[in-house]
Structure 1
């Protein structure tokens, strides 16, 4: 199961590649995520470990291959007791974020 940050990096990689036809650089990932290079490298290693991406030549992000662009079915995190499950059509999402 991916943590929130790994999921975020996976979505950025997938969407960036779809729109710009290339993967973002590590620097671009630091800008998009607001995290340091060390955090990004840990997230990428987690994605490799969970078989969402492969990255044989780690000299450049252009060598990344996405194996799965979405989190696997049944592995998505479930709301905890303190979190409310989201409702479709919930206006709070649009007004609070």
Structure 2
């Protein structure tokens, strides 16, 4: 499961180009996430390391390419059906 910032960045990078046909700027990412530019760039670097995005030119966000559109699913713990009757 991705940390909050990385998950938020991935959702923005997936959904924003669908409406505007371009990648959001660093200024817009700062506004949308409420984070500092260095935190955003660390999140983007982490997404690249994990294989979610490809970032060719590190100076230009327009070179970002989303490789995976879905984060890893959350594993849910199954609870016994009789939990409330035994506790």
Per the normalisation by structure 1, the TM-score is: 0.72
Larger Rg: 2
Partner SS for 1:62: helix
Q: Deviations over 1:58-87 (max 9, x none)?
A: 111110010011103xxx3457xxxxxxxx
User: 1:61 maps to which residue?
Assistant: 61
Pick closer, same or farther for the CA change 1:5–1:51 going to 2, 3 Å: same
Provide the TM-score with structure 2 as the length reference: 0.80
Where 2:44 maps in the other structure, the secondary structure is helix
Larger fraction in helix: 2
RMSD after superposition: 1.7
* Structure 1 segments unaligned to the other structure (5+ residues): 80-97
Structure 1, residues 4-39: CA drift from partner, whole Å, max 9, x if none? 110000000110011111000111100000110011
3-state DSSP of counterpart to 2:17: helix
The equivalent of 2:34 in structure 1 is 34
For residues 3-42 of structure 1, what are the structure 2 equivalents within 5 Å?
A: 3-42=3-42
Unaligned stretches of 5+ residues in structure 2: 77-87
Runs of 4+ in structure 1 deviating by more than 6 angstroms, as ranges, are: none
- Please give the secondary structure, in 2, of the residue aligned with 1:22: coil
Instruction: Number of aligned residue pairs: give it.
Output: 77
